[in-house]
Structure 1
Amino acid sequence: MKSLRAQRHAVPPREPKAGRRVGPNTVNAPDRLLLDTVRHSGYRVVLLMLAAAVAAAAGLLLPDALAGAVDATVSGERSWPQVLWLLAVGGAEIAADVAAAMLTARVTAADTAWLRRRLTRHLARLGTASPYPDGDAVSRLTTDCTGAGTVASTLVQLGSAVVVSTGAVTLLAVLDWRLAVVFLVSVPLALRLARSHLRLTADDLTAYQRVSGELSARLLDAVSGLRTIAAAGLGERESARVLRPLPQLSAAGAGMWHTQARMVWKAGLLLPAVELAVLGAAGFGVLAGRLSVGDVLAALGYVALGMSLVGQVPQLTNLSRARSCAGRLVEVLDTAPPEEGTFRLPAGPGTVELRGVRVGEVLRDVDLTVPGGSTVAVVGRSGSGKSALTAVLGGLRRPDSGEVLLDGVPVERTRTEELRTAVGYAFERPVLLGATVADAVAYGSWAGSAAVERACRTAQVHDLVVRLPEGYANPLGHTPLSGGEAQRVGLARAVVRNPRLLVLDDATASLDTVTEARVERAIGEALPGRTRVVVTHRAGTASRADRVIWLADGRVRGVAPHDVLWAEPDYRAVFTESAEGTEGTDP
């Protein structure tokens, strides 16, 4: 097995950085994504194409069948064979249209689900390195995946319209080449209308999707902080902030509808004008004896079919929207995820070293060592970099420069599964995931019921859980938890991993001091000899730690026992301000 030094020398340069766009040219990336989406449809899109082909064939046969039935009836001949043929063709078209509608729904649903799975996996790989706000990510997962997921059905419908239009013009020429010439005069105008529509709607659609994502991000932030907004009495101001992009959204939407309205009325005038011209030419054909009454009806049917491509304005809009949505999805998919680590962690006490770590302007040039098996408190004013420091310790966030090592191994080069086993995190506002309370505690681990119960006892939440109607099997959605109770469940989730490094980011802030002290003692008994890093605003908690890391303005101002730092007035002021800002605790 290679030594760690040999492994370090063998590691290639780490480029590109996580969160940066990759690829030499992403101009055609949206189209490639749409093509992959169509390919994913597989047999479903083949069936949809077959249904569309049957509908198109039946539609093209229908005018001739109608002409035959009318001519037979007018001439007084036996007409029931022609009428039966007309009914058969019409029935086939109706059946094919129904089948196509059902398949369109299936194809769109399957493609949308595939895009959402792909985007979700990539967002999960990006993790905390993702540059996309929560609301924007939700918008891309919902609206944009749905928009791009319609591409297969949209292309089939447009392709069917092209086949029908081409076939109608051909049959019109077979009927009378003069009628086809009259019709073809309108084709350049129709193509110009379609091209103009696509060009004018593209920018508005892109702007609409972008602003929608921004609105979603702002709205999600506001909903998450409703109580804070209400307590501060800033509802009106927050509403104004959330709705500030609304004029841009309105302008983009108005631009789309204005363009579509112009296209619709122009197309609406074009079809009657072409029909009138062809009808006039057909009239001369009847007078000359070239055409029958049924042929005139067939000619009008072929004209309507020939102009069906112009009637696909909504599908042209959908295609433009699909490309716009695909562009937003590609932005995420082209964002480089953090490089996967390959190193294994050796056995160790959980010693953490930071060498020249910098995270934006939040942390600057941090050098420190957390001895294995020690308990270290992290204190500092709000915005001093405490959460950023705890995030880089266990690899939740990668530093912009510098290096973090756990038991001598670079954290960002360590295998993810090993890192998640070795480091346990508990947060001030834990998000609990899982079907039951037991699932929430065991989330992300292979812990059994006995380990889950031990962790809950350590976190002082076992007595609460066993009082629930179904105990540990109680549905999480039917388990009301106060802030302190949720924190203790989140703490149990971190403890159940049996980590060598336990990081508590204000994870006991909602507990009263007595409960917090009991939790600390229980953790010490359950995880003896493990390293603990505790972010705190309480002097009592800091005093029980072996050492205190005092942060100020993104730099380490001091590392020493609490009693030593207490002599500094600025250090004492950190706890004075925190005490004044405390809103209350839950037992």
Structure 2
Amino acid sequence: MMEASNKPGSWRRLWNLILQAEPPKLLLLTALLLSVMTTLAGLILPLFTKDLVDGFSAASLDRKQIVALGTVFLAQAIAGGLSVYMLNLGGNRVVAAIRERLWRKMLALPVAYFDRHKTGETISRMTNDTAVVKGLVAEHFASFCTGILSVAGALAIMLTMDWRMTAIMLLVFPVTALMMMPVGRAMFRISKGMQEETARFTAVLNRVLSEIRLVKASGSEPVEYVQGADGIEKLFRFGRREGRAQAVLSPLVSFVILLLLVTIIGYGGAQVSAGAITAGELVAFILYLFQIVMPLTQITHFFTQLQKAKGATESIIEILESEEEDLESGERNVPEAGTIEVDRVSFAYKANEPVLKNVSFTIEHGKKTAIVGPSGSGKTTLFSLLERFYAPDEGAIRFGGRGIETYALSAWRRKLGYVSQECPIIAGTIRENIGYGVDRIVSDRELEEAARLAYADEFIRQLPEGYDTEVGERGIKLSGGQRQRIAIARALLRNPDILMLDEATSSLDSRSEAVVQQALSNLMAGRTTIIIAHRLATVADADRIVFLDKGRVTGIGTHDELYRSHATYREFADRQLKLDDSAAS
């Protein structure tokens, strides 16, 4: 990937990325014109200096010259300030547009993408990589534009003053450029590696800090310290290599400046002695030399940043070019009622490692269907297929006689309500959590009614801020049973036609489970319900039980039917009964 990044195509990819952000052309053009004014004002100053040196006396200074000189200084300061501000503003708008596009893309990416990429690495693309592009566009680009204008203008005037001295000076630059090219390539490799390592380190930080309670409860601080310290050490090594490259670059630039200065003073002094040029012209020439050298340093920094931005662009474009979910294509009118048919479905996350194998069964409308079986039998994967997080490798899932993939994804998911064992809660208030994902305006009365049916209203009203109580990150301020009831209230507010319950009570104590079961009864009323459960006591009354074992359906029927005819189910049920009896005692 690094080698490819040095090809001309990578420059075009960066340029296209910026163009697609729709940069404010009028603003940038105005900034460019102001830069021209700044440069012109700067180019006039050495000419004033030449006249002062050649004919300096107190009498030669009149009010008009002083006013003119002050006006030039003032115009340069104002135009320069406005130019830098506008270029930075335009650059920030470009980067904001890239970030907005990247954020929209991330939300549209399928679950499979996040299975393949660590969360911290994805976050790093949004923050660190876009910051590199921001540095190029909003900061270094301004200096680059100003520098180009300054160098071009100064060279033009120097050629008219003394073309021989200018030619001697210009001979140094190609040699310097050849010397700096290897350093530039090294800087790209270093910056690319640093961006990748930063992404990995961010992933470690995100993983550890998001599960800090598990880390501490497990006594894993020493292990995590080693992993974090390894990332820090690798970043240090890249920083050290970058420092070495800068250690070559900076003295090289200083050497070029000093060489040019000595050459110009030596040659120019001889020209002054010979009467070919005046002392004022030599002074002006030296001043113009600095107007070339200083911008060249800025231009060098621009190309260094450009190398970094090229690497960052590849990471950003990798996300932008990833296949995304199409939420709106397809039939939007999903039938209110219908039978779900799972027809010979097979699926594997990795090739040759099937999780589901030729699975077939039906889920009747308005009925309660349970999917049970040992851990790893594919129950949660089946839910993921129903939610269309993934598509079956073989077979089909139909609703109302049509493949669910023919319905618009947004319309299909609106039919589904999902309550899981983990019960995801976002940082915010209880009100925000209950209303999360509801695509309509919800009145306080509706929200409180949903909470009441979920048996959550009572405990919410006992909290200091009621429905406006902050729940903390991932709902840490709430108990497991409270989080479950908020999730049930959220599902009630969505009013789904199809309800999916994934181990919804498995992690609760008996008292909390009883309350949550009552809430679930309210939620299941009149809905097609699909339940995953390890504990058969919670699904023994299901209209139909589908027994999954090692990715295959090995039995379908009621609890009594399976208990009589299915040996594995009977063994599974007896083991569950013993576990329930021991837990009760």
Q: Could you list the per-position Cα deviations for residues 361-383 of structure 1 after superposition, in whole angstroms to 9, with x for gaps in the alignment? A: 34343323222222233334444
How far off is 1:435 after superposition?
5.4
Q: Could you list the per-position Cα deviations for residues 226-251 of structure 1 after superposition, in whole angstroms to 9, with x for gaps in the alignment? A: 22222222222233344544454334
How far off is 1:274 after superposition?
0.5
For 1:244 and 1:187, the matched residues in 2 are separated by 42
Aligned partner of 1:451 in structure 2 is 446
How far off is 1:56 after superposition?
1.9
Are residues 261 and 511 of structure 1, via their aligned partners in 2, closer, same or farther at CA, if it must alter by over 3 Å? same
How far off is 1:451 after superposition?
2.9
Structure 2 residue 120 is the aligned partner of structure 1 residue 135: yes
For 1:546 and 1:536, the matched residues in 2 are separated by 14
SS in 2 for 1:465: helix
For 2:171 and 2:431, the matched residues in 1 are separated by 73
**Greater Cα shift, 488-497 or 134-143:** 488-497
Aligned partner of 1:420 in structure 2 is 413
Q: Which amino acid is the alignment partner of residue 340 of structure 2? A: T
Are residues 374 and 515 of structure 1, via their aligned partners in 2, closer, same or farther at CA, if it must alter by over 3 Å? farther
How far off is 1:140 after superposition?
0.8
1:362-511 mapped onto 2 (5 Å cutoff): 362-433=355-426, 436-445=429-438, 446=440, 447-474=442-469, 480-511=477-508
For 2:175 and 2:580, the matched residues in 1 are separated by 74
1:14-413 mapped onto 2 (5 Å cutoff): 30-36=13-19, 39-74=22-57, 77-130=60-113, 131-153=116-138, 154-312=140-298, 313-340=300-327, 341-343=329-331, 344-349=333-338, 351-360=340-349, 361=353, 362-413=355-406
Q: Which amino acid is the alignment partner of residue 337 of structure 2? A: G
CA RMSD of aligned residues (A): 3.1
For 2:66 and 2:418, the matched residues in 1 are separated by 77
SS in 2 for 1:356: strand
Are residues 234 and 512 of structure 1, via their aligned partners in 2, closer, same or farther at CA, if it must alter by over 3 Å? same
Q: Could you list the per-position Cα deviations for residues 72-100 of structure 1 after superposition, in whole angstroms to 9, with x for gaps in the alignment? A: 42585235543433332223222233223
How far off is 1:299 after superposition?
0.7
User: Does the 8 A contact of 1:537 with 1:578 survive in 2?
Assistant: no
**Greater Cα shift, 247-256 or 292-301:** 247-256
SS in 1 for 2:61: coil
Are residues 507 and 397 of structure 1, via their aligned partners in 2, closer, same or farther at CA, if it must alter by over 3 Å? farther
Aligned partner of 2:572 in structure 1 is 571
How far off is 1:196 after superposition?
3.2
User: Does the 8 A contact of 2:10 with 2:310 survive in 1?
Assistant: no
User: Does the 8 A contact of 1:51 with 1:97 survive in 2?
Assistant: yes
Q: Could you list the per-position Cα deviations for residues 380-423 of structure 1 after superposition, in whole angstroms to 9, with x for gaps in the alignment? A: 44443332221111223333443222333322332133112210
How far off is 1:349 after superposition?
4.3
How far off is 1:119 after superposition?
0.6
**Greater Cα shift, 557-566 or 188-197:** 557-566
**Greater Cα shift, 26-35 or 338-347:** 26-35
How far off is 1:521 after superposition?
4.1
User: Does the 8 A contact of 1:460 with 1:519 survive in 2?
Assistant: yes
Q: How many residues align?
A: 559
For 1:467 and 1:26, the matched residues in 2 are separated by 62
Are residues 74 and 275 of structure 1, via their aligned partners in 2, closer, same or farther at CA, if it must alter by over 3 Å? farther
Q: Which amino acid is the alignment partner of residue 392 of structure 1? A: L
Q: Which amino acid is the alignment partner of residue 286 of structure 2? A: L
User: Does the 8 A contact of 2:136 with 2:302 survive in 1?
Assistant: no
User: Does the 8 A contact of 1:422 with 1:501 survive in 2?
Assistant: yes
Q: Which amino acid is the alignment partner of residue 158 of structure 2? A: L
How far off is 1:526 after superposition?
4.7
For 1:33 and 1:258, the matched residues in 2 are separated by 32
**Greater Cα shift, 250-259 or 178-187:** 250-259
Unaligned runs of 5+ in 1: 1-24
For 1:328 and 1:114, the matched residues in 2 are separated by 17
For 1:579 and 1:47, the matched residues in 2 are separated by 76
Q: Which amino acid is the alignment partner of residue 217 of structure 1? A: A
Are residues 514 and 357 of structure 1, via their aligned partners in 2, closer, same or farther at CA, if it must alter by over 3 Å? farther
Report the TM-score, using the length of structure 1 for normalisation: 0.86
For 2:92 and 2:574, the matched residues in 1 are separated by 58
Are residues 283 and 196 of structure 1, via their aligned partners in 2, closer, same or farther at CA, if it must alter by over 3 Å? same
User: Does the 8 A contact of 2:345 with 2:393 survive in 1?
Assistant: no
For 1:497 and 1:462, the matched residues in 2 are separated by 17
How far off is 1:61 after superposition?
1.9
Are residues 228 and 578 of structure 1, via their aligned partners in 2, closer, same or farther at CA, if it must alter by over 3 Å? farther
SS in 2 for 1:73: coil
Are residues 435 and 233 of structure 1, via their aligned partners in 2, closer, same or farther at CA, if it must alter by over 3 Å? closer
How far off is 1:331 after superposition?
0.2
For 2:574 and 2:524, the matched residues in 1 are separated by 32
For 2:452 and 2:387, the matched residues in 1 are separated by 25
User: Does the 8 A contact of 2:343 with 2:359 survive in 1?
Assistant: yes
For 2:579 and 2:24, the matched residues in 1 are separated by 57
